Every structure is written in C-alpha cells, then in structure tokens.
Amino acid sequence: MSKRCQRLKTVYVVRHGETESNIGGVIRGGAQTALTEKGREQARLVADRCARLSFDVIVASPFLRTKETAELIREKTGHAIEYSDLFTEWDRGASRIGMRTDDPALWAHNDALTENLKSGVRLADEENFDDLNLRAERALEYLSNRPERAILHVGHGLFSRILVGKALFGTDFSGRDAYHFVSNLITTNAGITVLELEERAGGTQWSLLTWNDFAHLG
C-alpha cells in the first residue's frame, strides 16, 4: 500500500440478530428487546463468519439484543467485549413504547421522525439529527482513538446507517444525507458492513469496503 493511502484501522459493523420487535408485537423500551430464536441462529451464523475474520476486540451497544449477539460471537471467537452507550440505537422517544408494530399510527410517527432528520425538528423527546450527528462523531472518535487495528462492532440497524454516513461525509454530513441513509440503505439482521480508516495526503479518511454482507445466512 502506498504511503499516500495507508490503512490505519478496520471496523466490522455487525447488526444484531432478529428481534421480537422486528417481526411484530409491541414496542418495548429500546434496551429490553431480545433476540428471537431465529435471531439467535442468525447470531450463531454470523459468529461462525466472524471466527474467520482477524480482529482484536468486540465493541458493542449495551442493549439486550446486541449483548446477546455479541456474547455468541465472543463464545465462538474468544474475544473480549466492551460496551459503550455511544452505539445505542436511535432513540425515537418514549411515546412509541407500548404501540404495536402493525399500528398505522406508529408507521406515521416513524415516517415523521425520519422526515424531520432533514430539518432537525424535534417532535418530543427523541434524538434529532443534531443529537445523532454529534453522537456519531463521538463514536467514530472513540473507534479511531482505540489502539486496536481491527475492531468488530455489534450495533443496530438505524444508528449504524448514521454512523456510516458520518464516516463517509464527515463535517459535510447533513440532515438530508441522514434522511437518505436511513430511508434508502437497507441493513439485514446479522449483516456485516466494513469500514476502513486510512491515512491519506492531508489527513485521515474513512472508506466503505462492504455494505450489509449477509452471505453467511445462506
């Protein structure tokens, strides 16, 4: 690799396995949603895939579904897990808790929250774009400053899209960009996205190598 483009760090971003909320039912508090049996099987399959990767540590969101996924990866690979609140899922507010996932009112509420990313408007107590943008910046700084050359991160579907958007666009990342990343980029349960941090002329830059690889799920 040339001196103008030297790889500094690789981050494997793994989404948790399928959860109860992913397949219907009632929205619970963000930290309490557990994996389904299918989700645990997906986590075992991605753990088998991760066992063939070279990395140094697992960094995970402390939510139950990411803990369950990370623990299955740890059992397979033997790597230590560290948890950080920087990587929790997008907090879309307390008003959603208790609503059914098939309720049209919930769909409309979710659509309004996503639309408001473009303007930064806050409906109630949810994280708006400014909150997410700052948290993503801090999360990337956290990953960049860690001493490990390769990190496996177990996270969430929505915030991981914000994280990737912030990595690629940097200070130019806007609410409209976040809207499109959340609306149009799909992440599969137990899919793998790969980011690399490179040293280039003029500074460092994140690059996207792989988006949502789920071949290990069959």
Q: pLDDT digit of tens for each residue in the chain (218 aa)? A: 444 578 899 999 999 999 988 877 788 776 888 999 999 999 999 999 999 999 999 999 999 999 999 999 999 999 999 999 999 999 999 988 888 888 999 999 999 999 999 999 999 999 999 999 999 999 999 999 999 999 999 999 999 999 999 999 999 999 999 999 999 999 999 999 999 999 988 789 999 999 999 999 99
Distance CA(104)–CA(90), nearest Å, equals 20
pLDDT, residue 4, reads 56
- Under a CB-based contact definition with an 8 Å cutoff, are residues 76 and 47 in contact? yes
All domains in the chain, ordered by first residue: 10-192+209-217 (3.40.50.1240)
Other beta carbons within 10 Å of 28: 16
Q: What tokens does 169 get? A: 């666009």
- Quickly list DSSP for 12-54: EEEE---BTGGGSSB---TTTPPB-HHHHHHHHHHHHHHTTS-
pLDDT, residue 1, reads 42
Q: What tokens does 55 get? A: 């990395």
Distance CA(181)–CA(92), nearest Å, equals 16
